């Protein structure tokens, strides 16, 4: 399976999880898209550095664009790339961010740890100190 196919399957799964399984409907919220534009900016900066300097390379057989020769830098824009990185990286990042938010919202709605508890577990500390 190519990186393109895996990312498209991932996007479909995340959308299904958002609307059908967890029913959080994060993708319908304006605040998500405004916040996500900030995430995309920094994702493009990071991807641009990693792929622009040749730290990460992609096989042309696995992505929409083509691979570049070892002595030539990847294309900044075009040939299936945005800021040196393949378009698939943006979709993969989208899946990671949305899935994290879906789980976060779902856990919050279901009352998982509503009161923040920092520090060591209280029962162990109380037992150790002899507090009842």
Cβ contact 77:44 at 8 Å? no
Range(s) of the domain holding residue 7? 3-129
Mean pLDDT of the 119-124 span: 62
pLDDT of residue 24: 94
| Band of residue 8 on the pLDDT scale cut at 50, 70, 90 | very high
Domain count, the chain: 1
User: 87-109 and 3-16 helices cross at what angle (nearest 10)?
Assistant: 20
Backbone dihedral angles phi then psi of residue 103, each to the nearest 5 degrees: -65, -40
Q: With 60 as the cut, is the pLDDT of residue 120 above it? A: no
pTM recorded for the entire structure? 0.75
Cβ contact 13:68 at 8 Å? no
Percent of the chain whose pLDDT exceeds 90: 44
Backbone dihedral angles phi then psi of residue 86, each to the nearest 5 degrees: -65, 150
pLDDT of residue 7: 94
Extract the tokens encoding 73. Answer: 């830098």
């Amino acid at each position: 399976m190519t990186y393109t196919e895996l990312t498209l399957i991932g996007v479909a799964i995340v959308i299904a999880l958002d609307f059908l399984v967890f029913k959080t409907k994060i993708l319908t919220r304006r605040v998500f898209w405004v916040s996500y534009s900030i995430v995309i900016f920094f994702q493009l900066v990071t991807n641009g550095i990693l792929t622009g300097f040749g730290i990460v390379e992609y096989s042309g057989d696995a992505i929409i664009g083509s691979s570049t020769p070892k002595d030539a830098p990847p294309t900044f824009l075009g040939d299936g790339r945005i800021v040196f990185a393949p378009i698939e990286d943006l979709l993969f990042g989208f899946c990671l961010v949305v899935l994290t938010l879906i789980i976060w919202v779902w856990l919050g709605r279901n009352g998982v740890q509503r009161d923040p508890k920092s520090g060591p577990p209280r029962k162990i500390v109380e037992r150790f100190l002899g507090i009842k």
